[in-house]
Amino acid sequence: MRHATGEHTPGPSGYDAELRRHDRILRRACDVQLHDHVLDIGCGAGQTTRQAARTAQAGGALGVDVSAPAVERARELARAEGVRNVTFEHADAQVHRFPEQRFDLAISRFGTMFFDDSVAAFTNVRRALRPTGRLVMMVWQPPEHNEWDVAIRQSLEVADGPVASVSGGPDPFSLADPPTATEILQAAGFTDVVFADVHEPVYYGPDVAAALDWVRGFTCTSEVLKRLGPAAAARAVGRLRETLSAHLSDDGVWFDSRAWIITARRH
């Protein structure tokens, strides 16, 4: 995940705000039904989990995330919004002992790319799905197809040399290659793997100041700035500000992006 803790919450800029254009596409692909029991992997502050629960009124939804602050925030928001058929657990979906064959549908909005062992993780998710249960997840396409990664990485290449990814840590593009992702899912016991192109921009905030605050929270951004001396760091921040300014429109700061919606069925 791009923020070090994953605990940034919705606001004028934030993760849910950033992906506002992606949500409607993911909801349509998930096609949650009234009686479904839904597992949301890497749920963050729980927006997608609550959305699923509202549709599955005769079923329910469980959201899991490795960030304890994000899970606590998800619980707070569910209580505040009166969503009663939703629960959240601080858990790693790779190893968490889910009830076997409990869920009709497993969903994820950019939360499945960071497993230490992807085959083991998806095998664990498959066990939690009922026979013919579905997996629907949104993941990034390769970095060169994502303007946000290219532009921010170039802005950081001031005095620190090449920057591998604006995410830092685990690779957000680990499922970007369809043959690789298909091989992982098939090894985990999934079939009927299908990729659908998603071409929507990401939103970084209403103005340059908010966008800069958001981008400086990216793990790699903060780590690069820490490594630089004061003068070099100031130049890097200046270039980031210029990049964000170039992407400012009447309705905020936007960057082009490409993603996949990957769907599969339990074998």
Q: What are the structure tokens assigned to 233, written together?
A: 């760091």
H helix or E strand, kind and range, residue 33:
none
Question: pLDDT tens digits, residue range 246-265?
Answer: 999 999 999 999 999 999 99
Find the mean pLDDT for residues 195-201: 98
Query: What is the model's pLDDT at position 14?
Result: 78
Question: pLDDT tens digits, residue range 17-74?
Answer: 999 999 999 999 999 999 999 999 999 999 999 999 999 999 999 999 999 999 999 9
Q: Residue 74 in contact with residue 96, Cβ under 8 Å?
A: no
Half-sphere exposure of 166 (CA within 13 A, CB side): 22
Spell out the domains of the chain, with CATH numbers in brackets: 15-142+170-204+256-266 (3.40.50.150)
- Which residue from 189, 152, 196 is spatially nearest to 172, judged by alpha carbons? 152
156 pLDDT above the threshold of 60: yes
Q: Residue 128 in contact with residue 38, Cβ under 8 Å?
A: no
60: CB partners within 8 A, 6+ apart: 37, 38, 53, 85, 86, 87
90: CB partners within 8 A, 6+ apart: 64, 65, 66, 67, 68, 71
Query: What is the model's pLDDT at position 162?
Result: 53
Percentage with pLDDT > 90 across the chain: 79
Half-sphere exposure of 116 (CA within 13 A, CB side): 5
Question: pLDDT tens digits, residue range 65-113?
Answer: 999 999 999 999 999 999 999 999 999 999 999 999 999 999 999 999 9
61 has which bridge partners?
A: 38, 86
Percentage with pLDDT > 70 across the chain: 90
- The DSSP secondary-structure symbol of 18 reads H
